[in-house]
Structure formats: structure tokens, C-alpha cells
Structure 1
Amino acid sequence: MQTKKHLVLFCIIAYMLLFIRPILSEQFDNNNLTSKQSNTTTTRRALILTCDTFINHPDTSGASKQNGDEINRIFADEELDINEVYNYHDTIGNEETFRYIISNTFKDSKPDDINYIYISTHGLYINETDQASLVFSNGNEEFSLDAEIIEEAFKDVKGTHFFIIDACNSGALIGRGISGGSSKSTFYGDRFKIICSSGGSEDSWYWSSSGDGSLVLQGAGYFSSALARALSKENNYPADLNRDENISLFELYNYLYYNHAPSVPQVYPYGDNFSIFTYSKQNIVRDEHISNLTFETTVISSNNPYVSFNFIVEKPIIPVYQIVYFENGKWQFNKAQFIYDIASRTNQEGVYNNLRPGLYNRKISINHSGSGGYALIYVHQLSGKTMRFISGKVLSVLPDDGLEKVQVMTDTAFQPLYGQELPITIQHNVPCLMDINIVDNNGNLINTIKYNEPTRPQNLLPKGSTFVWNGKDNMGNFAKPGMYSVSISCKLPKQTVSFSSKPFELLESKIPIGLINNN
């Protein structure tokens, strides 16, 4: 009798399992899919995953959905030649669902195909355990997804996988922007190309406390807005820095690094020229209201307490300048200062007048304290009652002096041929300008990582900045195996501090090794 009961139970379970996969298939195969014919032999598929409704974390008030809609609009551009776009919002509540969506979306991918994955959700990082994760929820279930699960889900998927991760602490998934560096060993090799909206210690969205103690979303969508503009046909694809009709991974990262202000975008692999997007110049139809926005400097000092910039108005428009200061470890978006262009005075009916087409120069005073600090400036264009993002810049407010306890830390060894990159952590207590060079054991210059680069807040403890070296020289070739060090100069108007790291080893082997911080 006991055996018969077990047999009946087994049959019932087996019968139920037959329906699990069809139910998932029916739910997700009928999801919103946009498709079009390819102009090349390479097929490009895009997957947009967004979450706004959570169980154990604050809801994001539709912000992720808006981000996804903005990216969907860009991916739908005929010029970028993305053939299929899949959207899932508030859908993933468990790992099985995530894995099924990945395998189903990219089941037909070939080795030469490109798979685009945009994710907008909560990101988490626990510094003590070096654990980074993304939170997914469907409103009824919630789970955290780490880098190992993501990599495993793509194990059997052919093609190149380009991730855009728009979440707080997202850089931690690739070991970027973390105090003391990270020993992460995921996503190595040529299959993965990744851009993250923030470093591992940073917020990407910004919250403030309301009267009842709950969190109120103050700032979201900044990264997706910068990304959308970078890939915008109307704005002449500004991410294509060399104008060769190919937007490489490094070009896109470089544009975002200098035009997305509230957090520090991160990338893997660093310096990679893999072509992510292509387009044709002859099909561009520009529709800009403001063009050629140029900042004379983003460095503020006691001798120059102003941010100066110029731009061309192509069509009548009202520019709006948003100033936000960095205080107590956070960007104070709830205290943002909005400046409507002084030339756009209200007329007798009480509405703002547009700036007429022409060249304009502007200068805005920035608060300068003796101890230094950071601010950001956003340039928007006013359209009705809404503001449309144009550009954002971090302003480094330098003290005259005050640099103390400058240190440089790296790992003891790394293997660039295996895909590893060397994390460089520089501790500095105040904003400054930095020169960062890689030198060999004889003091010869191998690579200039940064020159005269203004620092920006990364929420490291202790305060500081992080960078990486991909093991290549200034000509783009891998450096020879051997001993190297990082040489830096931190510069203020009345003080310069120079320092070198302990030597580290560039290894030739392609076998993974455990990395130990060279503290």
C-alpha cells in the first residue's frame, strides 16, 4: 500500500511538471516584442528588465519603467539595427524565471550576434563580505541576483553579451568603485561587455526621508537620460567621438563618464574598442534645440569660483541650470537650485520667453569653502512644464591646500591575458587634480591613466578615488610580464603631493589566481 501511494504521488508530480515549462512559455513568449529586419548578418537582440514594485525595499514610483521606456525608444531606432527588443517589467520574482527569460530570449543567438541587456532595479553591496547583487521582484516574490548567477545564466548563450546595469552600487558586480579594491573574478574574457551606472560604493538614485520616516525618491533617470542622449539620432550620436559611424564600448563609457554627474560610470573591459552600435551619417536628421555645449573648465578654486560654458541655440528654447551640492556623503537633490536663463525673462502674460537662435556664453557662481567639495551642474531645456536633460558635469571645488595621508594601493599581481584588470585605489582627503602613470621597474613610462584629472566623489572609506589599468601600454599593446608600479601626483593650487605604490607583478599566465590587496 505504501508503495502504491508513492507511485501515485510520483505520477501526480510528474504530471504537474509537464505544465510548468508551457506555463512559463505562454506567459513570456507573448510578452511585448518589437522586431524588425536586419541590415547585416549579425543579429542584435535586446532585453530590457525593469522593477519598480518590491517587498523588502522601497518602491521606485515607476522610475525603472520610465528608464526602460526611454531605452526602448533608443533601441527602436532603425539606424542602430537592433532586430528584436523584449521588455519585462515587474515580472521576475525568482531565479528560475530569470534563467528562463534569458534562455528563451537568446535561444537563437549565434557566435557573431550581439545581445543587449538593460537592467534597472535596486542594487546592493555589502562591503564587509564583498557581496554585490541586484534585486528583482514581481510584487509577490523577491530575490537577489549576484554576478555568478548572471554569468551562469549566459553560459550556453552564444554571441557577445553587452550589459547596461542601471542600479545603485552596480559597479560592485564587476569589482569597480570599491574601498580597498575587490577580488571579483566574474565576467572575464571577450564574451562580456559591461557598463554600470555607478561604482560599488555609490548610489545611482537618490532618496530623502519624508515626515513619516519613509523614503521619498528625489532623483532618478539621470543615467538613462545621459545614455539616451549618447545614442540619440536627433543629437547626432554624440557618443561617437571619432565620428566613424561606430560607437565602441569605450566611446560610450567615455561619454557617460564625462556627461553623467551624480555617480561614476564603470566599465569592463576598460579601453575596449568593440563596436557596440553602428549607424549611417547620411540618415541623420538632427533635431537639436541646443548644440555644441562646451564647458571651459569643471574645476572651481578660490581664484576662479565660477563655472563657465557656452552653447548654440538652434531653435527657440528656455535653458534651465540645476546646481546640486555634495554634502554629508550624498548629493542633495532635495536642495537643488534651479536657474532659469536670465535672458528668458517673463513677459507681461507671466510666461518665460525663449532664447533666440545664436551663440551664448554663461557664467554661474559656485559656493567655495576653504576645505573644498563637489557640486554638479545640469543643463536642461524647458519644454512646457517638463525639463529635458542635455548634459551633467561634476564640478571639483579645490581648496588651496590641505592634502594629507595620500596613499596608493593595488593588488600584488594580475593577469591581463586572462582578462583581469588592476584595481588602483588612491586615498586622498580633499578634492584635487591627479596625474596617474604606470611605470616599469626602471622608471620608464608605460601608460598614462589620467592627466590633470579632477577627482569626483565615490563614497569610499577612507575618502579617495578608484581607477584601473588593463595591462596595456600607451600604444594599446599588452605590456611585458614583469614588475610595475603606479606613480601619482595629487595637485592643488598651492600644494602638490607625489607618491608611488608598492611594486606589483604583471603575469603572463592565463590561469586564474587569487588576488591579495597590496596594503
Structure 2
Amino acid sequence: MKKKLLCFFLCVLLLPLGVMKSAGGDGVTRCLLIGCDRFVSMPDTEPASANNVETMGALLKDFLPGEVRIQRYVNGPGTVEGFERLVADTFRDANDADTALIYLSTHGLLREESGEERVEFLLSDGESEEYLEPEKLKQVLDKISGDKTLILDTCHSGAVIGCGGNSVNWFEDGSCRVLTSSGALEDSWFWSTTEDIYRGTGYFTAAMDCALRSSDFDQIDPDGDGKVSLGELTLRLRAIHGASTVYCWPENSDAPLFRMMDDRKPTNRFRAVCFDPLEPQDQKVVQTMHFRIEENMRLEFHVIPSYNGAWDFEHTVSRKDTEKDGLIRMMKVGEKQKKIRNPRTNFGKDGRILLQLVSTKVDGSAPIVEAGKVMSLEELDSLYQDGELIQEETDGQTEQEES
């Protein structure tokens, strides 16, 4: 599998604050999904943004309640004026009972201005391009009537809500709820393959798809109310998306975004994946994981080192799971528990590695990045001292210290 840095890769998803209101029939949810893959000054990203748009469109169709209208726009607009006009046309008939959703997948750029980090988003149709500044984005969204939520899948996307760096929260007034795929100083990534030019997507967008379609209900909807809130989605994404840090605003928001259904349509092969806390074993770090599969498949563990604070995908090490059925290497349907052990010396000066679980069909085709987890010596050392689990006493009882 070929890994590419989607440096400054952006997806903006604008969801309504009260998206669940439409379940009662008192509003329409309008969705505008924009993906830019062709650029003048930056590397092309095909087919990542186009596939992100399709993935999000399917998610919104399946998990948004009530009347939902979805418009897709790939490769464009190439100007800020064109973006503003497209948004105005899409939401022209919106009123206070409605909800709005905008999804934008493109490059983003981190700039420093007066000691503060700013992220700007590159609008492009392959022939013309302009950067959309955060204050202009805020102005455009403020003109839309009804409830709104903004979701960003981008390098440095946390900069728009002041997370992960020295940046301004442009949405502190509460006009939009915001979900971002990364901190202000983090990159965001996509994957592609050399075998199939049509396959590939952003890690974060794929993680949203897995979180909603393939998590057990108690993982994605722990309060059991049948709705997935912004806070619940954020926690689940942090549990299975390791390539960057997911943030949301307001923090721990209980605003409902999606509905849960008994009849979901999973697009990946794993179900209910979860990772145990790290454990030491001699001079190795052990990661235990659990998941369920409902079709025979193969599994690979991709171990990505960190260098100077960034994931070094060019030096990914792939390890094949050894489970076999007779002479054929594959995992059969059922509940699974797997362990991977990495020597402490593999963690380098940064003291961390990224573990990704990649499934394929039994013949090795059609790879899917199922989940990711950061393994860090800092996490391990916060749990164990001299090989012993750190305990703390509370009111006469002994509890495990949380990492």
C-alpha cells in the first residue's frame, strides 16, 4: 500500500446543531459536499477527495434522520467568490427550522501571523485556485439560516477552534459546533494503492465511516438514546483513529448529530474494534486488540515510525498476521484477539509509533485501513513503573491509574 502525506488536506463538514430536529419533521437537512483533487500549486490528491465525498454522502443518507437533500460537487469551485455563491445557492431556502451541512475536501495551509497559527483552505478546480481564510469561512456560514455544525478533516484543522497550538477559536461564539481531525500542528493523511487507482480515501473520513457503521452500540452510543452526539463521536474516533488527534467544540458536546439504526450497512471488514492499554514485556511494548469479523480475510499490521513529531509513512514496516486455515493464511469468521509486540528501541527519539490494522480479501486484494492506535512510551510509563502496574489508593480502594 502506498502512503501519501496529505499535507494541508482538508475536509470541512458543516452539520446542523440540532440535526436530530428533522426526525420530528420540523425541518430539512441540506447537504453540500465539495471535493477538490486537482490543483495548480499543490500536488493532486486523486481519488481521495472524490472518494471522501462519496463516503460522506452515503453516511449522511443512511444516518441523518428526516428529509435530507444532498448535493455533490467535485473539483471546484476555484475561487472564494465561487464558494460563497455555491453556498448561497444551496441554502437559499433554508429557515430557522432547517439544518445545513457543508463538506469540503481539499488542501489546507498553516501560516503563522503575529505569533498565532492560522489554517487556510485551498479552493481549486485544477485551473484556478484561491485560499479561503477562516474569518471568511465564518462569515459565509453565518449567513445560513438554521442550525449548523462544522467538521474539518484536514492538516492543522484544530487551528480553527484553538486546539493543539497557539491559535484562535473562530467559533467560540457557539454559532457552529465543530469537529476537527487534527490539532493545529498536526498533519492529516490519506491512503491510496498502486494496484487500483480508484481506491483511496482520507484516514479520518474512513474512520467516521467505520465508527458509525461497524462499532457496537455501546461503543458509539454509550448512553443508549439511539443518537450519536458530537461528544460521543469524538470519543469513538479517538479510540480508532490514530493518525491524528480528533478535537471538537464545544468540548464534550451532547448535541445529537446522527441517528443509530439496527440495520446498518458496514463497508469494512472489522466490527467492534477496541485496543487494550499498553503492557510491558521484558524490553517490549505489547498492544492487545479485540475485534469481530464476519467474512474470511487477511490482516496486516502496519507500524509507522515518528520522526521529529511527524509520521514517517515512507518507512512503514508491514507484519502479516500468521493465522491460517490449513495451508492458507487467513482469519476465519469470529471473535478475535491479537497481540503485537514492539521492542522499546523501535520507538526512536520521539518515543511513539503508529499501529494500523489493514485488512484484505483472502487473495490479498482490496485493502482497507480498519483502525489505528498510537503506541507511546509515555503512555506505557504512566501505567507501569519497574514493570509493575501503578496503583493509587482512593477511599481505601485500589484503582488503576488512567492514562
Q: TM-score range by the shorter chain?
A: 0.7 to 0.9
Q: Which amino acid aligns with 1:194?
A: V
Question: Which residue in 2 is equivalent to 1:5?
Answer: none
Cα 1:141–1:253 change in 2 (3 A) is: same
In the alignment, what sits opposite 2:231?
A: 250
Indicate the SS of the match to 2:179.
strand
1:48 deviates by: 1.1
Q: Which residue identity lines up with residue 260 of structure 2 in the other structure?
A: Y
Residues 324, 376 of structure 1: 8 Å contact kept:
yes
Superposed displacement of residue 227, structure 1: 0.9
Q: Give the counterpart of 1:262 among 243, 262, 266.
A: 243
- Evaluate the alpha carbon distance shift between residue 287 and residue 47 of structure 1 in structure 2; reply closer, same or farther with a 3 A threshold: closer
Partner SS for 1:231: helix
**Aligned-residue CA RMSD in angstroms?**
3.0
Count of residues paired in the alignment: 352
Note the alpha carbon deviations across 1:22-68, whole angstroms, 9 max, x for none.
xxxxxxxxxxxxxxx97622321212111111111111132111211
Q: If the length of structure 2 is used for normalisation, what is the TM-score?
A: 0.78
Partner amino acid for 2:133? D
1:399-431 per-residue CA deviation (whole Å, 9 max, x = no partner) reads: 9xxxxxxxxxxxxxxxxxxxxxxxxxxxxxxx9
Q: For the Cα contact (< 8 Å) 1:196–1:267, is it kept in 2? A: yes
- The answer to which structure, 1 or 2, has the higher relative contact order (CA under 8 A, 6+ apart) is 2
Unpaired stretches in structure 1, ≥5 consecutive residues: 1-36, 208-218, 400-430, 435-450, 455-519
Bigger radius of gyration, 1 or 2? 1
Shift of 1:244: 1.7
Determine the structure 1 residue equivalent to 2:42.
57
User: Which of the residues 338, 347, 359 maps onto 2:335?
Assistant: 359
AA of the residue aligned to 1:121: T
Residues 1:167 and 2:154 aligned together: yes
Partner of 2:185: 201
8 A Cα contact 1:235 1:287, kept in partner: no
Please, which runs of 5 or more residues in structure 2 have no aligned partner? 1-21, 192-199, 384-399
SS of the residue corresponding to residue 254 of structure 1 reads helix
Which position in structure 1 is the counterpart of 2:353?
375
How far residue 233 of structure 1 moved from its aligned partner, in angstroms, is 6.7
- Structure 1 residues 371, 202: CA separation in 2 closer, same or farther (over 3 Å shift)? closer
The whole-number CA distance in structure 1 between the counterparts of 2:105 and 2:67 is: 20
Q: Which amino acid aligns with 2:206?
A: S
1:246 offset after TM fit, Å? 0.6
1:89: which partner in 2? 74
- The verdict on how the C-alpha distance between 1:170 and 1:346 changes in structure 2, with shifts beyond 3 A counting, is farther
Within 5 A, what are the aligned runs for 1:382-397? 382-383=360-361, 385-397=365-377
Cα separation, partners in 2 of 1:183 and 1:324, compared to 1, 3 Å? closer
Match of 1:279 in 2: 260
Distance 1:40 1:139, change over 3 A: same
Q: Which segment is superposed worse, 189-198 or 290-299?
A: 290-299
**Which of residues 194, 197, 221 is equivalent to 1:240?**
221
Counterpart CA distance in 2 for 1:169 and 1:126 is: 10
In structure 2, the partner of 1:188 is 172
TM-score, normalised by the number of residues in structure 1: 0.62
State the Cα distance separating 1:452 from its structure 2 match: 5.5
Q: 1:329-340 counterparts in 2 under 5 A?
A: 329-340=309-320
- Give the CA deviation at 1:239: 2.6
Which residue type is aligned with residue 259 of structure 1? I
Deviates further, 120-129 or 151-160: 120-129
Aligned counterpart for 1:146 among listed residues 133, 139, 154: 133
Partners of 2:401 and 2:314 in 1: CA distance: 32
- Deviation (angstroms), 1:371: 5.6
